[in-house]
Amino acid sequence: MFAFEIPAPRKIGDYSYCKTLSSHAGMNTTGVNQYNSKFVARSLAKKVYQRSTRHCVSIQRSSRSKMVSEEEVNYEIGQRIETQEDAAVFIKAETEKGTILSERGYGACKPPFSYWPYFLRCANRPFDATNDREGYINLAVAQNFLAKQDVQDKVKEICKNNENDALIFGLEAAGYDNMKGIERLRKAFRNHANRIISPNFAWHEDDVCVSSGVGACIDNLVFAIADSNDFILIPAPYYPAFTNDLGVRCRVRAVPVYNSSGDVTVLPSLEDFKRAEENAVGEGEGMCRALLLTNPNNPLGIIYEPGDYRRCVDWALERQIHCISDEVYAGSIYDSEMNAKTRGFISAAELVEEHTPYGPHILTGLSKDFCASGYRVGAILTKSKPVQTALSNVSYFCAVPGPFQHVIAAMLEDEVWVDELFSMNRTRLKQSRDVLVASLNEKKIPHIVPNAGLFIWIDLSNELKEQTFEEEKKLWKILFEETHLMLTPGKDAKNKKPGTFRACFAATPFESLKVAIERISTGLEMYRNL
């Protein structure tokens, strides 16, 4: 933990300082003038000191202080990393002062992933096959660039062809509308879901709530179903940002659940869920509010076997905790025949016999399947009336801009185009996957062969000198610093076994993938010779 020392006030006689102090002390400055400010400032300084000390003690005591502990901000302060580094310094400095931000605010200063600060170094010097072969290859970012240009072209075309459409660019689109999304867009998402995500289930436009990205959808949904200190069970390994998505605003805990068999491609048993829940109840005050599943899965790049998935969804609904099914990769399945165990993807919407107020709540969006993470468009599909009602309120804070909602609706309405895009996207994902898998096989690097999404899960645990996350980090650092390759460490995905890494193969140029695997090989050699 940080040391909580409050610096003694220096500019005691200063009138403006007096004003600052008064706001910290929660007092107003009525009656303070340049003649009495010195006297007032002294007593205020005392109050601020007492208040800050109380605040710091409460931070130290609070279990939530874990969110700003130095141990968890596990990267080097002092490194030049733009705002996140500043944030780290800021956390340290401001936690010591302890009064400028709320506890939540200090929590928000913490980067969402341990490897966040390294992104900028990758961005500043990207790999270039002709001009800079030493440049960084970033396989840690969960983006799909493989059909990005095609989507951009479509948006451009829609804007151009509809330049005079008053609905899109007229005054109507500039006014307030339904914060869950304009009717046209909700209908377009309804049709998209009924066609692509769950063709055997009928959604209605009232079941759709559109927000600025799936991250915002999760934040809203969690806000609606859980109170601070409550927790949500998530089979691990899981999408690393879930911890932040649940915690940063809503202060809800993400509790990883491990399959006791050790097989990450199979969901945990009901006993595993129960055990994780009991432990989480023992660790904090809150209660279990939901089960959060992701299918197709990030980080594994696999589709869960439908019976396995149904077992978990049913369990949650039977015991009346919410079931959230993140299906943001449902349009990026490129090899459903491949795995004998899976019959392909089936949405949780189709797996349950009956939709309940507890869900399932399905998440979808444009970031992955439409290669458009910057558009910030996501949607919750739910039949739960209480959840829909709560979302009508909180969606206001993260609505998608009106004119852009029309543009996106027009894009989704062109179903022929969507089908072509998805088909092209799948072909390209498969090509990239094949290149990676062939290179990994050649180097005898263990991995799970993926069939959906943007990722491959690489298992270097056999190489670790000890089965610890310190060793995982050592290896990660060698890969980053010595070979200029960035992977997502398994620890961030809350994997139980040290030494696993996620690689995203859809956001880097094709030709860099083989080089990336060469670098893993080189990095391993360096690690072995340490």
Name the residue nearer to ligand PLP (CB basis): 107 or 378: 378
Tokens found for residue 209: 């709530």
Tokens found for residue 22: 């008064």
Interface pick for ligand PLP out of 9, 331, 378, 490 (rule CB under 6 A): 378
Over the window 211 to 230, marking each residue x when it contacts ligand PLP by CB under 6 A and - when it does not, the resulting string is --xxx---------------
Distance CA 32, CA 469 (A): 56
Distance CA 336, CA 129 (A): 32
Distance CA 330, CA 368 (A): 9
Q: Which of 256, 361, 273 is nearest to 311 (CA)?
A: 273
For residue 90, the minimal CB distance to ligand PLP (Å) is 25
Which positions from 231 through 270 interact with ligand PLP, judged by CB under 6 A? Answer: 239
Q: Which of 215, 248, 228, 244 is nearest to 398 (CA)?
A: 215
For residue 144, the minimal CB distance to ligand PLP (Å) is 10
Q: Is 488 in the site for ligand PLP (CB under 6 A)?
A: no
Q: Is 294 in the site for ligand PLP (CB under 6 A)?
A: yes
For residue 527, the minimal CB distance to ligand PLP (Å) is 28
Which positions from 55 through 94 interact with ligand PLP, judged by CB under 6 A? Answer: none
Distance CA 379, CA 372 (A): 14
For residue 528, the minimal CB distance to ligand PLP (Å) is 32
Which positions from 356 through 375 interact with ligand PLP, judged by CB under 6 A? Answer: 365, 367, 373
For residue 453, the minimal CB distance to ligand PLP (Å) is 8
For residue 362, the minimal CB distance to ligand PLP (Å) is 12
**Number of residues counted as binding ligand PLP (CB under 6 A):** 13
Name the residue nearer to ligand PLP (CB basis): 9 or 215: 215
For residue 255, the minimal CB distance to ligand PLP (Å) is 17
Interface pick for ligand PLP out of 230, 326, 335, 369 (rule CB under 6 A): 326
For residue 511, the minimal CB distance to ligand PLP (Å) is 24
Name the residue nearer to ligand PLP (CB basis): 215 or 331: 215
- Taking the CA atoms of 10, 16, 20 and 26 in sequence, report the sign of the dihedral they define: positive
Interface pick for ligand PLP out of 48, 158, 257, 328 (rule CB under 6 A): 328
Interface pick for ligand PLP out of 144, 298, 339, 439 (rule CB under 6 A): 298
For residue 476, the minimal CB distance to ligand PLP (Å) is 19
Q: Is 304 in the site for ligand PLP (CB under 6 A)?
A: no
Burial class (CB in 10 A: 0-12, 13-18, 19+), 12: middle
Interface pick for ligand PLP out of 87, 142, 348, 408 (rule CB under 6 A): 142
Name the residue nearer to ligand PLP (CB basis): 294 or 382: 294
Q: Are 448 and 456 in contact (CB under 8 A)?
A: yes
432-436: list long-range contacts, CB under 8 Å, 24+ apart.
432/146, 432/505, 432/506, 432/510, 432/513, 433/334, 433/335, 433/505, 435/505, 435/510, 435/513, 435/514, 436/503, 436/505, 436/513, 436/516, 436/517
Name the residue nearer to ligand PLP (CB basis): 298 or 395: 298
**Could you tell me the end-to-end alpha-carbon distance of the chain, in angstroms, rounded to an integer?**
31
Distance CA 261, CA 308 (A): 14
> Furthest-apart CA pair in the chain: how many Å?
83
Among all chains, which residue has been given the structure tokens 């998505």?
Answer: 245
Distance CA 312, CA 319 (A): 11
**What's the Cα-to-Cα distance from 159 to each of 164, 186, 358, rounded to whole Å?**
9, 20, 39
For residue 34, the minimal CB distance to ligand PLP (Å) is 51
- Taking the CA atoms of 407, 409, 412 and 414 in sequence, report the sign of the dihedral they define: negative
Name the residue nearer to ligand PLP (CB basis): 352 or 452: 452
Name the residue nearer to ligand PLP (CB basis): 326 or 471: 326
For residue 203, the minimal CB distance to ligand PLP (Å) is 19
Residues that bind ligand PLP (CB under 6 A): 142, 213-215, 239, 294, 298, 326, 328, 365, 367, 373, 378
